Amino acid sequence: MRVFYFEKLDVWKHSKSFAIERYTATADFPNEEKFGLVSQIRRAAVGIGVNIAEGMSRNTNKDKSRFINIGFSSAIEVLNYLILARELDFLEEDQYTKLREMLEKITNQLNSLKNKLDEAI
């Protein structure tokens, strides 16, 4: 089976793990949030990796950089949801801290990748 380039990237691997962690962490949210905050968090968390994968399939570094930037924006969207979830007591402090640290690592990696792509333009 062929392994695509994006699958080799640490940032994609971390974003995949983060998305899985988000699914687990939101499983205990109140039922009334199933189609609200839970859906939004999951969608945005999955969007990080999706944009990395799609971006790395593009032919130019400019296009790749644009998709990495969109992935970064999805990560910041997730951060906003994490803050809300914590303040609404849907997340315990230790869960929030763990997820925020994972997200910080991903955003740092996305920034680094974007900078490298931008330098090559």
Extract the tokens encoding 94. 């230790």
Go through the chain and tell me how many residues it has. Answer: 121
Percentage of the chain lying above the pLDDT 90 cut: 99
CA angle 85, 25, 3 (to 5 degrees): 125
| Sign, CA torsion 77/83/86/92 | positive
Q: Which domains does the chain have, with CATH numbers?
A: 8-119 (1.20.1440.60)
Q: What is the pLDDT of residues 16-47, one digit of tens each?
A: 999 999 999 999 999 999 999 999 999 999 99
**Residue range 60-73: average pLDDT?**
98
Extract the tokens encoding 40. 């939004």
8 residue type, one letter:
K
